[in-house]
């Protein structure tokens, strides 16, 4: 099982004051040096945290370590062009609304209009970046997963935000876990990688890891928050050990 660390919120702190610190490059270096299997960043249309220049800078760090860069993008043509210019190892296509605090759910592939937009973007990415791997950020329902298979992608990243919030609130999460079991089985049948991301903490990821429900976990906000108290290296190192 792989650990991807999302370092967007290091950039959030930097952008809050418009300073040159904290360094997104140093954050990527520390995470990989502490055991992370990949770095994840999201270049949003509104540029609220990661900036265009960060993408290439982080890409250089991941190349140095021989580890993947997982670039999250919406389907805006400008963002797609930046992704092509950077040529990351993985691209995760995500939904995006300017007014949202954070990504609120998976791609709506049940809408024919959205499906075509995502399909067109993925086809362009595959054509322009030799060997790129693509995941789609989606909900764990059968119709959406089967629609994902019709798009030229390699994996899905299941939106775990609702599960993570319920876990944080001490609610019963058994129905979420059962849903993830079903999505894992269907992805295996469809030949798609089964990844997880959004809202996860060291506590909420535990039951998912125990059942080996996913092959990759992308965790960000909690890591950066916990690093305030423990240090980034310590948090990433412990999380990697927990997943192993």
The one catalytic residue among 29, 72, 96, 216? 72
Q: Indicate left, alpha or beta for 33 from its phi (over 0: left) and psi (-120 to 50: alpha).
A: alpha
Q: H-type helices in the chain, by residue range?
A: 8-17, 24-33, 52-65, 77-86, 112-128, 142-149, 161-168, 174-190, 202-210, 221-230, 232-243
The one catalytic residue among 9, 42, 167, 195? 42
The one catalytic residue among 9, 159, 194, 198? 198
Closest CA to 48 of 85, 99, 92: 99
**Whether residue 198 lies in the annotated active site:** yes
**Whether residue 42 lies in the annotated active site:** yes
> In this structure, are strands 38-42 and 90-93 parallel, antiparallel, or unpaired?
unpaired
Which residues lie closer than 8 Å to 54 by C-beta, 6 or more apart?
A: 11, 24, 41, 43
Which residues are catalytic, by number?
42, 72, 198
């Amino acid at each position: 099982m792989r650990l991807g660390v999302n370092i967007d919120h290091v950039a959030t702190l930097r952008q809050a004051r418009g300073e040159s610190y904290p360094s997104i490059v140093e954050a990527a270096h520390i995470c990989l040096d502490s055991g992370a299997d990949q770095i994840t960043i999201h270049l949003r249309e509104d540029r609220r945290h990661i900036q265009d220049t960060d993408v290439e800078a982080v890409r250089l760090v991941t190349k140095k370590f021989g580890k993947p860069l997982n670039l999250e993008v919406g389907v805006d043509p400008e963002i797609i062009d930046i992704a092509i210019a950077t040529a990351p190892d993985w691209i995760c296509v995500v939904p995006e609304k300017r007014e949202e605090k954070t990504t609120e759910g998976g791609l709506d592939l049940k809408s024919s209009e959205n499906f075509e937009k995502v399909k067109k973007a993925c086809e362009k990415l595959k054509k322009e970046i030799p060997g790129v791997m693509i995941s789609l950020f989606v909900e764990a329902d059968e119709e959406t997963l089967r629609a994902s298979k019709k798009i030229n992608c390699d994996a899905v990243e299941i939106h775990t935000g609702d599960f993570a919030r319920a876990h944080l609130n001490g609610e019963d999460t058994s129905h979420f876990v059962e849903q993830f079991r079903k999505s894992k089985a269907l992805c295996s049948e469809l030949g798609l990688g089964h990844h997880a991301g959004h809202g996860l903490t060291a506590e909420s990821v535990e039951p998912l890891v125990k059942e080996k429900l996913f092959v990759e976990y992308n965790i960000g906000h909690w890591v950066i928050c916990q690093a305030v108290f423990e240090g980034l290296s310590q948090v990433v190192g412990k999380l990697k050990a927990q997943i192993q």
